[in-house]
Amino acid sequence: MFGHILALSVSMGMAVEMNILIRRFAALLALATAAIAQQQPICSATLPTGAIAMFPDWIHNRMNVVYPSSVVPVSVPDCTVGSSISLPSPAASGSACGDPTTGMVAAVNVVSIKTGATMIQIIDPATGQVRSFEPPVNQFNTGGGCAFAGGLLYAGTGLSIGYLDEYSIIAAIDPIALAVVNTWNPIGIGNLIALAGSPTGQVYAVSQTHTQTCALVSENCATELDALNSDGTSATLSQWTDPAGAIPIYISPNGTVYVSSLGYYRQNNLPLPGVLMTYCGIAWPSSDPLYALVCDNGKQLNTLNVFTGQVPLMLSTTYAYSTVAAQRQSDGTDLVPALRNGALDIYRATPPSVAYYVANGATYQPGGITPNSWSTVFVGLPALQAQVCGYPYPQVCGNVRVRLDHDGKSEFAELYYVSATQINLYVPGTVSIGTAALTATVQRLNTDGTWTSVNPLTTDILSAAPAIFTDGNGNALIVHADGTVNSQGAPGEIVSVYGSGLGPVAPGSYGLSWTTITTTVSIGVQPNDVSAQVTFSGLSPCCTGLYQVNFVIPGAAVEGVQPIMVEVGTADSPSAKIKIFIP
C-alpha cells in the first residue's frame, strides 16, 4: 500500500502544482472596481491667497507653503499654521524647491535680467533664518528650476530672452557654506526647463531646443532628459517632441524617473496610459515606490502605479498646480496634503496594496482554514510579478512575506506562490484548533530595508474544512494507479483525490500520517449518494500540507458526470465533478 500511495503522490505533485497556479479573479475584480465616494479632508488650514508652491518637511511633520515674499509652515496632520517667514527678494520671480530630508526651502530669483545676476535664498523654517547668496556664475538666469539632492542645492538657468540665448548652466551649491562646488555647461539641447533630485542623490534635467520656431509654434520642440554626472558631464536618457513650456520631473522612492509630457506621464519616455496631465502634481508616499498619488485637472486624486489602474479618490474641491504630497503612516494609510487658493487640506488615503480575504487553498473560498494545509490570501499588490517560490518553501518570496499571529505568538508562513492578486501559503501544524482566530498580515519590503504591512486579515481556525483540488472548472483531479491524472474513473477502480483541510493527523501504518477524523468519500447516485470505500486518508508523503484520499469507486456508481464530495466528520467539502464510465 505504501508503494501505491507514493506512486500516486509523485505523479500528483505536478498536477497540484499546475492547479495551484490557476487564479480565479471574478471575486477579486468585483471588489477592486467598487466605487469610492468623495473624500473630505481630515483638517484644513486657512492661509493667505496667492501661494506659488508647497514642499514637504517630513522631519518636522509639516508642509512649507511658499508665497512671492514669504514662507508659511503648516503642521501635519493637525493643520496648525506657523509664523510667516519674510523673504528679502520675491520668490515669484524665479524657481523654488524644498528638501524633505532637512526641511530647507530655496528660492532662485532674478535680480537683473540685463546682467544675469541671480539671488539664491535658503530658508530654514525651523529657525526662521533666511540666508542670501549670489553665485559667481556668468549669465545665471532663472527659470530652469532648482532641486535638493545629496545634501546639495542644484540651481540652473532657464528660458532666456526670446528663446534665442543658449544659457544652460547648472550649479551645485553647498547650502551650508554657500559656495559653488560644481557646474555643468552646457546641458541637454538648449534651454534648461526642469531639475529634480532622486533619493540617492542623482540629479536629472529636462531641456528643450532654444529655437524661435519652437517658442512660437510650440508644437515641435525637441525635448531631452539627462542625468548629471559628478565630473561635470551629463548622460542623455531619453528624447522626444513636446510643446514648449514647463515639463515637471517626478522621481519615485526607488529612483524611477517620470516626466509629464503630451498630457501623459512617461517613465523614461514610455507613456503610462489613462493618467491625464495634472494641474496639482504627483507624489509618492515616502516608503512605497510602486504607486503615486496624482491630482488630475485639479479635482481627482488617482492612485497611479506602473502596471495597473486604481479607482480615483475624489477630492472635495479644486487644487493648485504642483501642490500634492504624501506620507505613509504607521497604520498603513497615507496622509495627503493638498494646496488650494487660501487653504491647505489634509486627506487620509488608503494605498492600493490591499488584502481582501483569506481562503481555502483548494476552493479559494473564505470561511475558515485548518492547520497543516495550504491557504490563499487574495490581495491587490500592484507591480508584484508572479512567481512560484520553489522548494524548500521560503518565508520571503518576491519581497513579500506573510506574518501569522496565533496562540499568542507570531511566525512567518512558508510561501509557494506570489502574484499581484494572490499569495499561496502554508498554515503550519503548530496552529492550535480551538484558538479564537488566526491573523494573516501581508508585508512588503521597502527600498530602505523596512517592511510595510498591508491591512491584517482575521480568519477562523477550524478542526476540518475539507476541499478537493480541481482543474479550475470544478472537475476533480483523479489520479490513477498508473499515474494518469484526469477527472474520470470506473466502478471498482482504486483512485486518489488530493485536497486541503482534512484536519488533524496522527502516525499510522506504513509510517504515514493518517487523519484522526473519519473520512468519507461520497459519489452521487440517483436518488441518493453512495459512500466509497476509503483505503487511506492522510497527509501525502510527496508534498507539504497536501492531503491524499485513496478510495474505491463504488460499483453502484452511475455512468456519466456525477458529484463527488469528501466528508470529514460533520464537515463536507464543496462538490466537485467526476465522470464515471463503464469499461
| pLDDT per residue of the chain (583 residues) written in tens, 0 to 9 | 222 232 232 223 323 332 322 222 222 222 222 223 457 889 999 999 988 889 999 889 999 999 988 999 999 999 999 999 998 876 656 688 999 888 999 988 766 555 556 778 899 988 999 998 887 765 555 556 789 998 999 988 654 444 444 556 788 999 999 998 998 877 777 777 888 888 888 899 888 776 666 656 556 678 888 899 888 888 888 887 777 766 778 887 767 777 776 544 444 444 444 444 456 677 777 766 656 777 766 666 666 544 334 455 666 677 765 678 888 787 767 888 988 889 999 988 766 555 567 888 887 777 788 888 888 887 767 557 788 898 889 999 988 999 999 888 899 999 999 987 789 999 888 888 765 678 898 898 887 788 888 768 888 888 888 889 888 788 998 999 888 899 999 999 999 999 888 888 887 766 677 787 778 888 765 445 788 899 998 888 878 888 899 999 998 888 889 999 998 888 888 889 999 988 8
Residue type, 91: A
**Tell me, what amino acid is at 467?**
A
Is residue 319 within 8 Å of 340, Cβ to Cβ? yes
Residue 517 burial (10 A CB sphere; 0-12, 13-18, 19+) = middle
Q: What is the pLDDT of residue 148?
A: 93
Phi-psi region of 576 (alpha: psi -120 to 50; beta: other; left: phi over 0): beta
Which regions of 413-559 does DSSP assign to beta strands (E)? 414-418, 422-427, 438-445, 451-453, 457-459, 467-468, 478-479, 485-486, 488-489, 494-500, 505-507, 513-515, 519-525, 528-539, 547-552
**Is the CATH number of domain 92-247 2.130.10.10?**
yes
Confirm if 423 and 440 have CB atoms less than 8 A apart: no
Assigned C-alpha cell, 315: 477630492
Bond into 175 cis (ω within 30): no
Instruction: For residue 74, list its beta bridge partners.
Output: 63, 81
Cell, residue 339: 494646496
Backbone φ and ψ for 420, nearest 5 degrees, come out as -70, -15
Global pTM?
0.56
Beta bridge partners of 497: 549
Phi, psi of 18 (to 5 degrees): -65, -40
Residue 289: what residue type? P
What gap in Å lies between CA 332 and CA 388, rounded to an integer? 27
Give the C-alpha distances (Å, rounded to integers) separating 28 from 25, 441, 457: 5, 18, 15
* C-alpha–C-alpha distance, residues 457 and 442, integer Å: 9
Residue ranges of domains in the chain: 2-19+466-580, 92-247, 369-459
Nearest to 399 by CA among 359, 357, 452: 452
- How far CA 217 is from CA of 144, 220, 221, in Å, comes to 21, 7, 9
CA-wise closest residue to 476 among 506, 492, 499: 499
| Cell matching residue 441 | 498580515
Distance CA 149, CA 172 (A): 9
Residue 92 has what DSSP assignment? G
Largest Cα span, the chain: 102
Distance CA 338, CA 318 (A): 10
Q: Are strands 343-349 and 43-46 parallel, antiparallel or unpaired?
A: antiparallel
Q: According to the model, what pLDDT value does residue 158 have?
A: 53
What does the DSSP 8-state code read for residue 558? P
The correct CATH number of 2-19+466-580 out of 2.60.120.260, 3.40.50.300, 3.30.70.890, 2.60.40.10 is 2.60.40.10
Burial of 555 from C-beta contacts in 10 A (0-12 / 13-18 / 19+)? exposed
- Residues 62 and 126: their CA atoms lie apart, in Å, by 10
Confidence (pLDDT) at 553: 92
Q: 379 is written with which cell numbers?
A: 490581495
152: nearest Cα among 205, 198, 186: 198
Q: In terms of Cα–Cα distance, which of 452, 399, 403, 454 is closest to 427?
A: 403
173 forms bridges with which residues in the sheet?
153, 180
Topology alike, domains 92-247 and 369-459: no
pLDDT score recorded for residue 541: 81
Pure H helices in 360-464 = none
End-to-end CA distance of the chain: 25
CATH number for the region 369-459 comes to 2.60.40
AA letter at 65: V
